[in-house]
Chains A and B, each alone.
Chain A
Amino acid sequence: MSSKQRVTKKQIEGKLVKLRKSGLLPPRIIEDLRDRLVDRRLTSAQLNRIIKEVEIAYDYSLVEPGEAVGAVAAQSIGEPGTQMTLKTFHFAGVAEFNVTLGLPRLIEIVDARRNPSTPTMNVFLEEKHRTDEKFAREVAQGIEQTRVERIAQSVEIDLAEGGIVVILDPDLMENKGATAELVAERLGTARPTLGEVTQDGNRIIVTPELKEGEEAVLMAKLQKTFDKVRNALIKGQDGIKRVLIKKEGKELVLYTEGTNLKGVLRTQGVDTTRTTSNHIHEIAETLGVEAARQIIIDEAKSVLDEQGLDVDIRHIMLVADLMTATGEIRQIGRHGISGEQSSVLARAAFEVTVRHLIQASIIGEEDQLRGITENVILGQSIPLGTGSLDLFMAPSKPKKKR
């Protein structure tokens, strides 16, 4: 094959496959290269030149050993924080929900809060139901938590009956997809501790069983039962406060206020591969820590993107990886990563100085002086970048002049 000769599509493909096997370039770049090259008319010399140049450029773009990627990542995420708004904005596209965004949300993510201020889920449907509005509504009804008070005309304590009288509203029930029988069952057989349940059409009476000696506190008992009945979960998933169906392109997507990933994933017709929650800990519990890592990345990236701040994904990935490196989610701060640093000096220099020093004095802690803070404290050069290596010179003897 002479270098002036045009190469065929097949030859290009072959070359790229070989390149892929060599492992010199990441698959993503080879993929992109293929897209750009297959339809071009190239000589084999040109093709080789291009591949060579790409290899050189890729090689040049690699990180150097010793690079303080952590510090750079922290700065790259922290610095835009000063430019962010402090307000909570409405979620783009869903004006009905308030979703925490901007700096407060970013802090929530790095804090790995157990109770995010606005937990939400994006529920996707299985492929065959994606455009089926009726089905979407059914799923929505199915997951939205419905409590007695939401479908009742009235819930009252009736002293004459010695119980709680619930009058159900047929319209509301229809709206939520519930029936009087279902309510009776959920209050009766499903929760036997509540007491005896009698149903008469849309009128349900719950009479708490009185144990011996409880007659005197009847009112208190009724009040307790009243609260329980009012808040009894009739259907749906606990925690899903509201569900909204939105059309995205052709597809119907369910947005929820409140999360219950486990419950929703169990629901029929839900696409378990794409449905997500913004609750990091919930994701970690249901799908594992790798999924949590991905959610940290996605959430942080979307917060930054929404504010129009350009931050390289690698920085966010590093933070997420550090947070999840142990297999558990660790907060960025004294209760997580900073509190688990191996050096006493580093911990004392961060927060709660005295406690760390006292603790170290009790167990006789040693400091290996391998971190940054420790070496700064001692006034030594730090083990990063140009300081991450030691140079030893064997001075050659000066040549004697003749």
Chain B
Amino acid sequence: MLSPDIIRKMSVTQVITADTYDEDGLPISSGLMDPKLGTIEPGQRCKSCGNRVGECPGHFGHIELARPVVHVSFAKLIKKFLKAICRRCARLKLKEESWPKYKTKMEGHFEKYGSLNQDIADEVLKEAGKATTCPHCEAEQFKIKFEKPTTFYEEKMEGSVRLTPTDIRDRLERITPEDSFLMGIDTRVTRPEWMILTVQPVPPVAVRPSITLESGVKSEDDLTHKLVDVIRINQRLRENIEAGAPQLIVEDLWELLQYHVTTYFNNEVSGIPPARHRSGRALRTLAQRLKGKEGRFRSNLSGKRVDFSARTVISPDPNLSINEVGVPLEIAKTLTVPERVTEWNIEDMRELVLKGPIGYPGCNYVVRPDGKRIDLRYVKDRKTNADGLAPGYIIERHLRTGDIVLFNRQPSLHRMSIMAHEVKVMPYRTFRLHLVVCPPYNADFDGDEMNLHVPQSEEARAEARILMLVQEQILSPRYGGPIIGGIQDYISSSYLLTRSGSLFNKRQTCQLLASAGYRDDLPPPAKKRPEPLWTGKQIFSMLLPKGLNLSLKARICQKCDVCLKEKCQYDAYVLIRDGQLLTGVIDKKAIGAAQPESVLHRIAKDYGNPAARRFLDAICPLLVVLITNMGFSMGIDDVILEPTAIRQIEQILSDAEEEGSQLVQIYQADELQRLPGRSMEETFEMKMIEILARARDKAGEVAGKHLGLDKHAVIMTGTGAKGNPLNLAQMAASVGQQAVRGQRISRGYRKRTLPHFTQGDLSPQARGFVVASYRKGLNPIEFFFHAMGGREGLVDTAVRTSTSGYMQRRLINALQDVKVEYDGTVRNSTGEIIQFKYGEDGVDPARSDHGKAVNLDVVIERVLSEEK
């Protein structure tokens, strides 16, 4: 809060004129656009400080209000104060005996935190407000009535009397410092009467810039409009008072002034209509500027716009390293990196300057040691600039291959949403990234765009490279396992590579290994006749680090009762000994993204992040080449069943229908056994849903049995590359029950879902059971039900993103300043201890082995194998 004196002191001019510009378009002196308030036009000098646009901070003016008005935001506090002080002697109406208690409390708090406590003050105000007579002067007290937003009444016997801001100010002025201290206002900082305004500050023009439209018409900021209103009414009020106008008119104008001042501060005060623009749009005044997502705080202070960034569509490039990002040449020529000219690089720098902004790799700016920037776009003869370079100059050169940049995709839900990549400058106009980094960004290529930022300092680049590089983020801090890994075709391809019976001749083997960048010798082939043949497992093993020992169950594991391990008939037991894949196929469980305890996890954990990066950089191109050569696709014949199977499925579905209609009969005959705690209807629905789900599952099972492992669709679901058995069943056998809100579809028309059914029809088909498969095609009724279910899914997603986003925001806000201190405790920003040892054992989940501090089996095995 500011005192009237301070407001006057910091003011450079009193504003009296409601107009802004005169006929010539020049700002009127002591008007709202007075040049003393600071300048916003380029080239112009400020009348107060003499600075130009960039340097002039703007200066406040002030308005002398003809009559005091209440500051809306303090109205509630004014009410509490009025209630708590005596109407005659203005002392705090606290009984003598309560004094010491509150005084020690408040003083204690003040000593500890250096500020007063509102909670204690509220207690004081509440107790004092209850007194009906003043304990000091024994004057009788009246009830204070507060009418929102700014009107106060005193309820005397003879009726309520309005308290004008002048009356209120008069009372507040007489509050003693000691009383005020207990009421929560430290008079060394603030006086209570400052809550009533007598002088109003006028913000500098920089705060409310006017915009000139193309037509030359000036359009003023909302705040300026509001200030015009205030000044206009203020002047009228003053004139009327001076002219000795009748009380009634003065009061009306006073009221109006109060309204304008109120809406100037906050245009969303309840109880009064918001001030509007001529077009009918509500004005955006001070409080609205600060508030909410688009307000000053959240959109300009907590989040800021930045330079040295780029955004474009992303597309995949399997030939990049996972650490790289492909940057279009055009962007590389726009983004710059400052580089200091030294004795050692001066020749290179000269060359860059010579190339200039058009050539590549070139340079956009030269910064001289005296701080002057030279824009090379406007330099005719770059030779002189290049020759003029000397140690100490800084040049802003183009982004080059090998630079480090930050790459980001919104929503940035976790730290892997911003990772550092090495630049690779490429032709065309999209950012290119490796497919393996899609999971952490949650990116796909259906039109996604991503942002890129260029760190400008050596410190920032070092941090980016050491802490944020993609390879350093392979292990997720969420669960202590890899979040980066193979997806989709990489999984299918690795299965094709490593399944038993996949053999490659020398030419194929060499081609595959060349794509992986393999440089060593070939091991002896697994088969010599008819020609030397290598197994896929051998090829895969060549890329594994030496000494890797591991066993796991593949995704295709059928979960038999007794695991035959190495002798598994599905080849689902992955056994790696000393870097050799002995048995098992490689699928999602081994190299997939977000798969803890996988081959990839062990490599990253035991051989380090660089090794994991090398492994991925080697295996991925190999898998791409393999699947390209073999061909991998899915067509309609992948979901066509043989006639016997179709008949079986039809039988299952008609049986279920039969069973369903029997259930309807039982239900309608009122012979259904009620489940405990469920109504008859609920019981019926539950039973029905169960019957139909069972039927769909059975049909799916039959379909699954008849679709052999040679079908690509089955390979994809089996290995975890894409899809699940349910998707297959829906395509091949039956789509099944459609649900809305977890119930069978039951709404639409009176007692029926669609006019095609009789009222009260409870049969499966009438309630959204889709008998057909996607392959066969849905009939119009089924199609409609399916669309209903589909719509719910879409709505659900939309709702979920917003609710979970808000939860995330709250979590982040509550936890963001919690960190580990040097003593191992976890504390917040005030230093309060949250945990004495992080996570009870001090282990960082990101460095843990899927939650465990140490993987003992790996350690023991390593030590024991060493000794041999």
Contact string against B for A residues 77-115, beta-carbon threshold 8 Å, 1 for contact and 0 otherwise: 111111011111100000111000001001100100000
Q: Is the interface on chain B under 10, 10 to 19, 20 to 34, or 35 or more residues?
A: 35 or more
The segment out of A45-53, A147-155, A186-194, A279-287 that lies at the interface is: A45-53
State which residues 701-742 of B face A: CB under 8 Å. Answer: 741-742
State which residues 453-496 of B face A: CB under 8 Å. Answer: 463, 467, 477-481
B147 within 8 A of A: no
Is the pair A343, B829 in contact by a Cβ cutoff of 8 Å? yes
- DSSP majority for the A interface? helix
Is the pair B114, A314 in contact by a Cβ cutoff of 8 Å? no
B174 within 8 A of A: no
Quick one: given A53-B862, A97-B677, are A67 and B844 in contact (CB under 8 Å)? Answer: yes
Is the pair B853, A58 in contact by a Cβ cutoff of 8 Å? yes
Bound-state CA distance A213–B829 (Å) is 66
Is the pair A63, B820 in contact by a Cβ cutoff of 8 Å? yes
List of A residues within 8 angstroms of B117 by Cβ:
363
Contact string against B for A residues 359-402, beta-carbon threshold 8 Å, 1 for contact and 0 otherwise: 10111111000111100110100011110100000000000000
A201 within 8 A of B: no
Nearest-CB distance from B842 to chain A (Å)? 5
B301 within 8 A of A: yes
Bound-state CA distance A60–B347 (Å) is 44
Contact string against A for B residues 83-119, beta-carbon threshold 8 Å, 1 for contact and 0 otherwise: 0000000000000000000000000000000111110
The segment out of B380-388, B617-625, B794-802 that lies at the interface is: B794-802
Bound-state CA distance A103–B297 (Å) is 28
State which residues 541-592 of B face A: CB under 8 Å. Answer: none
Closest residue of B by beta carbon distance from A312? B845
Count of A-B residue pairs with CB < 8 Å: 307
Contact string against A for B residues 28-55, beta-carbon threshold 8 Å, 1 for contact and 0 otherwise: 0000000000000000000000000000
The segment out of B517-525, B748-756, B806-814 that lies at the interface is: B806-814
Bound-state CA distance A32–B856 (Å) is 8
B189 within 8 A of A: yes
The segment out of B234-242, B284-292, B503-511 that lies at the interface is: B284-292
Bound-state CA distance A257–B805 (Å) is 31
Nearest-CB distance from B30 to chain A (Å)? 28
B302 within 8 A of A: yes
B630 within 8 A of A: no
A65 within 8 A of B: yes
State which residues 798-847 of B face A: CB under 8 Å. Answer: 799-801, 803-805, 807-808, 810-822, 824, 826, 828-830, 832-835, 838-847
A159 within 8 A of B: no
Of B302, B843, B845, the residue contacting A315 (CB under 8 A) is B845
Bound-state CA distance A72–B857 (Å) is 28
The segment out of A9-17, A217-225, A259-267, A319-327 that lies at the interface is: A319-327
Is the pair B811, A57 in contact by a Cβ cutoff of 8 Å? no
A288 within 8 A of B: no
A182 within 8 A of B: no
Closest residue of A by beta carbon distance from B851? A312
Bound-state CA distance A338–B298 (Å) is 15
Is the pair A337, B292 in contact by a Cβ cutoff of 8 Å? no
Is the pair B818, A322 in contact by a Cβ cutoff of 8 Å? yes
List of B residues within 8 angstroms of A40 by Cβ:
860
Contact string against A for B residues 175-219, beta-carbon threshold 8 Å, 1 for contact and 0 otherwise: 000000000111001100000000000000000000000000000
Is the pair A366, B114 in contact by a Cβ cutoff of 8 Å? yes
Quick one: given A53-B862, A96-B677, A103-B804, are A74 and B812 in contact (CB under 8 Å)? Answer: yes
Quick one: given A72-B477, A313-B851, are A332 and B184 in contact (CB under 8 Å)? Answer: no
Of A62, A68, A81, the residue contacting B808 (CB under 8 A) is A81
Nearest-CB distance from B639 to chain A (Å)? 27
Is the pair A372, B478 in contact by a Cβ cutoff of 8 Å? no
Closest residue of A by beta carbon distance from B805? A82
Is the pair A332, B829 in contact by a Cβ cutoff of 8 Å? no
Report how many residues on chain A are interfacial, defined by Cβ distance under 8 Å. 103
Quick one: given A349-B298, A364-B190, are A71 and B860 in contact (CB under 8 Å)? Answer: no
Nearest-CB distance from B127 to chain A (Å)? 19
State which residues 305-321 of A face B: CB under 8 Å. Answer: 310-315, 317-319, 321
Closest residue of B by beta carbon distance from A53? B859
List of B residues within 8 angstroms of A36 by Cβ:
856-857, 860
Nearest-CB distance from A253 to chain B (Å)? 16
Quick one: given A354-B266, A362-B184, are A312 and B478 in contact (CB under 8 Å)? Answer: yes
Bound-state CA distance A391–B704 (Å) is 64
B848 within 8 A of A: yes
Of A60, A74, A82, A97, the residue contacting B804 (CB under 8 A) is A82
Quick one: given A50-B859, A63-B842, A103-B800, are A110 and B1 in contact (CB under 8 Å)? Answer: no
Nearest-CB distance from A144 to chain B (Å)? 11
Is the pair B479, A310 in contact by a Cβ cutoff of 8 Å? yes
A172 within 8 A of B: no
A273 within 8 A of B: no
List of A residues within 8 angstroms of B841 by Cβ:
26, 28
List of B residues within 8 angstroms of A315 by Cβ:
478, 845
Is the pair A75, B812 in contact by a Cβ cutoff of 8 Å? yes
Quick one: given A312-B851, A354-B73, are A107 and B803 in contact (CB under 8 Å)? Answer: yes
Pick from B298, B415, B811 the residue with the most CB of A within 10 Å: B811
Is the pair A78, B814 in contact by a Cβ cutoff of 8 Å? no
Closest residue of A by beta carbon distance from B847? A61
State which residues 328-365 of A face B: CB under 8 Å. Answer: 332-333, 336-338, 341-343, 345, 348-350, 353-354, 357-359, 361-365
B161 within 8 A of A: no
Contact string against A for B residues 389-423, beta-carbon threshold 8 Å, 1 for contact and 0 otherwise: 00000000000000000000000011100000000
List of A residues within 8 angstroms of B596 by Cβ:
310
B295 within 8 A of A: yes
List of B residues within 8 angstroms of A38 by Cβ:
none
Nearest-CB distance from A24 to chain B (Å)? 12
List of B residues within 8 angstroms of A232 by Cβ:
none
Bound-state CA distance A67–B853 (Å) is 17
List of B residues within 8 angstroms of A86 by Cβ:
796, 799-800, 803
Closest residue of B by beta carbon distance from A42? B864
Is the pair B796, A81 in contact by a Cβ cutoff of 8 Å? no
Is the pair B807, A106 in contact by a Cβ cutoff of 8 Å? yes
Of A107, A319, A357, A359, the residue contacting B815 (CB under 8 A) is A319
Bound-state CA distance A58–B855 (Å) is 9
Is the pair A349, B814 in contact by a Cβ cutoff of 8 Å? no
List of B residues within 8 angstroms of A321 by Cβ:
826, 834-835
Is the pair B845, A357 in contact by a Cβ cutoff of 8 Å? no
Closest residue of A by beta carbon distance from B192? A362
Of B73, B741, B829, B846, the residue contacting A358 (CB under 8 A) is B73
Of B73, B415, B820, B867, the residue contacting A46 (CB under 8 A) is B867
Is the pair A70, B290 in contact by a Cβ cutoff of 8 Å? no
Of A60, A366, A383, A386, the residue contacting B115 (CB under 8 A) is A366
Nearest-CB distance from A120 to chain B (Å)? 13
A143 within 8 A of B: no
Closest 9 CB pairs of A and B: A70-B818, A314-B839, A78-B808, A364-B189, A70-B815, A81-B804, A312-B845, A74-B811, A371-B829
Q: List 28 A-B contacts (CB under 8 A).
A: A26-B853, A32-B856, A63-B820, A65-B822, A68-B819, A69-B844, A74-B811, A76-B479, A78-B804, A79-B414, A89-B742, A96-B675, A103-B804, A107-B807, A332-B814, A341-B829, A348-B290, A348-B297, A353-B297, A359-B118, A361-B190, A363-B115, A363-B116, A371-B817, A372-B816, A377-B301, A385-B819, A386-B467
Q: Which chain A residues have a beta carbon within 8 Å of chain B's beta carbons? A: 26, 28-29, 32-33, 36-37, 40, 43, 45-46, 49-50, 53-54, 57-58, 60-82, 84-89, 95-97, 103, 106-107, 110, 242, 244, 257, 310-315, 317-319, 321-322, 325, 332-333, 336-338, 341-343, 345, 348-350, 353-354, 357-359, 361-366, 370-373, 376-377, 379, 383-386, 388
- Since A88-B742, A372-B817, A377-B301 are in contact, a sample of 15 more A-B pairs with Cβ atoms closer than 8 Å, ordered by chain A residue number, is A33-B856, A53-B862, A61-B848, A62-B842, A75-B415, A87-B741, A311-B478, A312-B479, A315-B478, A332-B810, A362-B1, A363-B116, A365-B115, A366-B115, A385-B819
